[in-house]
A = this chain, B = another copy of it.
């Protein structure tokens, strides 16, 4: 009824379809409110098949988290320009993050909103992911500014990025692009952290919003 799937699909593809459906439903409803019935229908299969392949609601949710976390970290890792200045690395990482969040809003919501509020053991999985990101950002900040209080700054920056991603996802039609968001956040934060910076060159910083928009 949901999707006009062809019968007799190989297992790997079915699993992907199920995970797609599950991510969407979990993101929209949350872990508890999502029903396996709804997920199965969204995937276009019967409930027992979901259990045959993914064992339980817990394991299904966990598989969703792991898949989306892997996709997000891969997107950011691939976006970061290795070898560039810390500032430029941060810029490119933010850009990768915002663009991934824009393209995969369900995955983003799953990680950011849902998985963190569900109790253990899921929250722990996401906490690890977030801690890695914070540590990465903290390292960049330390490399660039040698600032004290690096951890607080990193948490603030990550929180700001998350907030902007959520804002953009909920924004009406012409939502801010990833580039605009990254530029805003760099302007907002970076020049504050490295207050010595003379006149933040748009190109060096990754592009100010004025130059890019």
Chain A interface residues toward B at CB < 8 A: 28-33, 113-114, 116-119, 148-149, 152-153, 155-164, 166-167, 176, 180-181, 184-185, 187-193, 195, 197, 200, 209-210
Contacts and interface: CB of A to CB of B under 8 A. Distances in A.
22 contacts: A28-B119, A30-B118, A31-B32, A32-B33, A149-B184, A149-B209, A152-B164, A152-B167, A152-B184, A152-B188, A153-B184, A155-B160, A155-B163, A156-B161, A156-B164, A156-B184, A156-B188, A159-B161, A162-B163, A187-B192, A195-B195, A195-B200
A31 B209 CA distance: 40
One complex includes copies of this chain to the number of 4
B200 A193 contact: no
A126 to B, nearest CB: 12
B160 A156 contact: yes
A36 B197 CA distance: 55
A84 to B, nearest CB: 21
